[in-house]
Amino acid sequence: MRRLVLVGGGHAHLFVLEALGAAPEPGLAVTLVSPAALSLYSGMAPGVIAGTYAQRAAQIDVARLARRAGAAFVAARVVAIDAAARQLYTDAGDPLDYDQASFDVGAATALEIPVDAGATVVPVKPLEGTLIALCAPLAGAVAILGAGAAGVELAFALAARRSAVTLLDLAPTPLPSFHPRVRRLAVRALAAAGVTWRGNASATEVARDGVRLRDGGHVAAALVVAASGVGRQTLFAAAGLPTDALGALTVGDDLRCIGHPELFAAGDCAALVGHPRLARSGVHAVRQGPLLVRNLGAAFRGAALAPYRPRPHSLALLSTADGRAILAYGGLTAHNAAAWRLKDWIDRRFIARFDR
């Protein structure tokens, strides 16, 4: 029997488990290692925080999905890799042998400014911790550092709960990587929701009473949410594996690790050498899922692997927590209830697919 270990219950690994449940691979013993039996779907997390969805409605039971696939489930976190011995070590100290291993563990959020002792800071990732913190009763104003898609959706979600929210970013407008028409929609929608927007704002410190800015300004906040991009990972570099500047595992377009063909990675923890500017987004983790299924099977059988080809545009649907959503697809934009219904349908269908 060959041993395949899936590290992390991320979006791409859901497709692998689904495929194994439908058509088991003879001669392959599979183990899923994930810190929790329930995996949170990122697309619905802002809706849970806003009170639109119950928490369980946005979760997938990956332990049950593993059982249906005939895989063993280990409730743990992988903290070390011995690539030479082909062993993984969990936070419980237990070794796991592998012939092939695939990583879909996401990423942490970067916060590269000092934080005072006693300040309350919540990173957007990992999502499970964010959900626990932001679903609790909020006493006082909230400042969100980072106005990308995650920061903007969280601002709408928290404003829907009657919180005083300030959204800050170095960029002059929210959603800086989006089309200008989308940015203008976001500015108007944030103002209508009561969110205070602070552009060209350089945060220098998180204090107990809020955020201090480089220009001498101060944003009062009892809670600071860090949505400021992907932080540095240490798991792969500590094992001597090839990584990018942020510690993501370097893989080819086939999702296979450069120099270690027994290792694969997908989602935010993977850095594709053929697409160095690929955004760290759940959209790519989902799209890489079917390819990962194909390539893991091909590697097991000694067949040729296929490349990942990102699409030139991705559909973005950002909930404004008022029964509407901002739709963005290339230059196509809208902010209406129809966009929200489309988002809700896509998200519920994704959950239903893997959490029957």
Q: Is 247 helix (H, G, I), strand (E, B) or coil?
A: coil
CATH pick for 2-107+231-301 out of 3.30.300.30, 3.40.1000.10, 3.10.290.10, 3.50.50.60: 3.50.50.60
Q: What local confidence, expressed as pLDDT, does residue 281 receive?
A: 73
Distance CA 89, CA 207 (A): 37
Distance CA 88, CA 79 (A): 8
23: enclosing H helix or E strand = none
Q: Does the domain formed by 121-229 have CATH 3.50.50.60? A: yes
Residues sharing a CB contact under 8 Å with residue 243, sequence separation 6 or more, in sequence order: 233, 236, 237, 249, 250, 271
Residues of the chain with CATH 3.50.50.60: 2-107+231-301, 121-229
CA 21 to chain centre: 25
Q: What local confidence, expressed as pLDDT, does residue 346 receive?
A: 97
Q: Is 332 helix (H, G, I), strand (E, B) or coil?
A: strand
Distance CA 331, CA 45 (A): 26
Q: What local confidence, expressed as pLDDT, does residue 109 receive?
A: 82
Condensed to tens digits (0 to 9), the pLDDT of residues 136-177 reads 888 899 999 999 999 999 999 999 998 899 999 999 999 999
| Ranges under pLDDT 50 in the chain | none
Give the residue among 181, 174, 152, 154 at the shortest CA–CA distance from 329: 181
Q: Are strands 249-251 and 270-272 parallel, antiparallel or unpaired?
A: parallel
Distance CA 142, CA 154 (A): 10
Alpha-carbon dihedral 49, 54, 59, 64, rounded to 10 degrees: 160
Q: What local confidence, expressed as pLDDT, does residue 176 receive?
A: 94
168 neighbors 145 (Cβ within 8 angstroms): yes
